[in-house]
Structure 1
């Protein structure tokens, strides 16, 4: 006989100025037994007043609000009353997408598409997806938000093991917390970076083009959404488009396809990493950043098994340590590093430098 105590529903605060959408989101929350609606408000100012008193488990945050916008509200909440925040955003307009991405950088955990109604299967699925995101993100531990600042490299005497590797491609992947992590890692690499870069970010299809445009404004290298057959080019970042797997081809191009989801994801980090292992072998460099689940673990392990070099983000900076933590446990990562050390470490690798012996994974 089970003695498990049922978990109480997760308490939700909704911030949305549109009366129609506010009531729709209220229905979404009220109809899900995993969630409990605390209150629904129209402005960021009301939300900031209520958060310290209601102490919600998660906040559904609109971006375009009268007065203070959702970006500034996110900053203030994460600075003073850290709470998981899910951005519920329109999918049209470059400015809305840019603000949504900056909200992720300010501490929000995820961005999802606004539902347009519950009359059709597609919009019903969108509404269900919002409820699921709210439930999952409500369980993520968050701390007072501060941007990770650059820290000095370890003392020279701890860099004790020389590396004899010659990467020809850099592949990265992330899920929750990925935009900020990508901006940090790629922001530390120069515009004339010596390798082509390919990446997978788990995010809804409508936001992927906006994400690529946002990242392009954050880092020195040019960033673009990949298309089938786009050639790999040194110093250029290709982002997997939404709802399509991305692999690297034998002729130095990206290949997109629509095969089944892997680890519940499309695009999948496993699919990308596995293709890097197959095509580049020991010349592959793979990086698995913050995210929930285990996507990327098997593919990263394949890169390492072929003699390539693999990096996992350390727990100390991961928003969610699920993916990189699973890679560590599986022996798929050669080394684990805080996010602000990954870019400098990659540059050190390309310069034929050394790696810190105390952070090397066995095997």
Structure 2
């Protein structure tokens, strides 16, 4: 189902979808109200959702759909630097699965690549099981579970964290539990379209206590700061403790790659590395997290009970890369506990 108020854009999206043999157009509607009315009859496998709609906007529509008729939702975002992108990111918090760039026209440069991205995301997300979401309330933090492995032998020096599908709200929850005096720098990989990364960093910066910024080449990472891999660049930590941005080829079709981030942190920090792998489709990060653990670092994977997609964490567990598996609300408090230097004497 396509939800888009612009007739021109609705027809363009319908044209894009109709060309892809993996997809069939179930309905194309002009408002959120019409979408909600049609959902019980059409029962689509996935919804393409505009954010700026007449009447009920896409954010409220996402909330209503996830509460009443849970269906995978892909947000189609236009401008990526204004308030509408914040609304798009908040739609992810409300239950949408991913955000992709809106096409501007068939004759526009890059149209085919954007069209392919839209179709691929719609197809992939149509396979994701979603559950009914209750109205948003502040989550109660569960106490950390007992360790399934020894504590780190040394006080950690750096935290590397990565996510894919379902990642933005998961990252907001984990980082939101860390105070402004968190003693480690945080290096972050989130799989998302390159055009969205600056907006994502700004959105996250407005939600969590720690300052969040896009990573820059040569920066010495500071404690209590979050450095986000920019669009279409690998983020690495050098042995000299500086940030590096790399155009090395994608790993498992991903650039930035969680595996390359974890691998670089394992090399640079060894037993003083903390690694976290959250929700995501595929296996990116699994090999790198295993290498981090083999180098003496301490690694945490999100438990299947809370992961939107238990792909990346499951792969890490299979490879022996997880020191500890925790439900999402327990990860932030555990990281804070591990990062406190006084815990190591």
TM-score range, shorter chain: over 0.9
**Paired residues for 1:67-106 under 5 Å:** 67-106=55-94
Q: How many angstroms does 1:239 deviate by?
A: 0.2
C-alpha distance in structure 1 between counterparts of 2:306 and 2:322, whole Å: 16
Q: Residue deviations 1:297-320, cap 9 Å, x none?
A: 111011100000000000011010
Q: How many angstroms does 1:167 deviate by?
A: 0.6
- 1:334 maps to which of 298, 317, 323: 323
- 1:112 maps to which of 100, 105, 121: 100
Q: Residue deviations 1:260-310, cap 9 Å, x none?
A: 000100000011100000100110000000000010011101110000000
Q: Residue deviations 1:173-224, cap 9 Å, x none?
A: 0000000010000000101100000100000011000000000011000000
Q: How many angstroms does 1:94 deviate by?
A: 2.0
Query: In the alignment, is residue 57 of structure 1 matched against residue 45 of structure 2?
Result: yes
**2:158 alignment partner in structure 1:** 169
Q: How many angstroms does 1:29 deviate by?
A: 1.2
C-alpha distance in structure 1 between counterparts of 2:319 and 2:270, whole Å: 19
Q: Residue deviations 1:68-97, cap 9 Å, x none?
A: 110010011001110000000113332011
Q: Residue deviations 1:94-132, cap 9 Å, x none?
A: 201101100001100000000112235611110111011
Query: In the alignment, is residue 212 of structure 1 matched against residue 207 of structure 2?
Result: no
Q: How many angstroms does 1:33 deviate by?
A: 1.4
- 1:136 maps to which of 95, 102, 124: 124
C-alpha distance in structure 2 between counterparts of 1:218 and 1:160, whole Å: 31
Query: In the alignment, is residue 40 of structure 1 matched against residue 1 of structure 2?
Result: no
**2:274 alignment partner in structure 1:** 285
**Paired residues for 1:1-363 under 5 Å:** 13-119=1-107, 122-146=110-134, 149-153=139-143, 163=151, 164-351=153-340
Equivalenced residue count is: 340
Counterpart contact for 1:86–1:110, Cα < 8 Å: yes
Distance 1:159 1:112, change over 3 A: closer
C-alpha distance in structure 1 between counterparts of 2:199 and 2:102, whole Å: 15
Counterpart contact for 1:312–1:327, Cα < 8 Å: yes
- State the SS of the aligned residue for 1:35: coil
Counterpart contact for 1:80–1:144, Cα < 8 Å: yes
Give the structure-1-normalised TM-score: 0.90
C-alpha distance in structure 2 between counterparts of 1:262 and 1:154, whole Å: 33
Counterpart contact for 2:147–2:324, Cα < 8 Å: no
Give the structure-2-normalised TM-score: 0.95
C-alpha distance in structure 1 between counterparts of 2:227 and 2:24, whole Å: 40
Counterpart contact for 1:91–1:207, Cα < 8 Å: no
Compare 100-109 and 224-233 and name the one that shifted more.
Answer: 224-233
C-alpha distance in structure 1 between counterparts of 2:43 and 2:148, whole Å: 48
Q: Residue deviations 1:315-334, cap 9 Å, x none?
A: 01101000001101111111
Stretches of structure 2 lacking an aligned partner (at least 5 in a row): none
Counterpart contact for 2:149–2:324, Cα < 8 Å: no
Compare 318-327 and 340-349 and name the one that shifted more.
Answer: 340-349
C-alpha distance in structure 1 between counterparts of 2:108 and 2:6, whole Å: 20
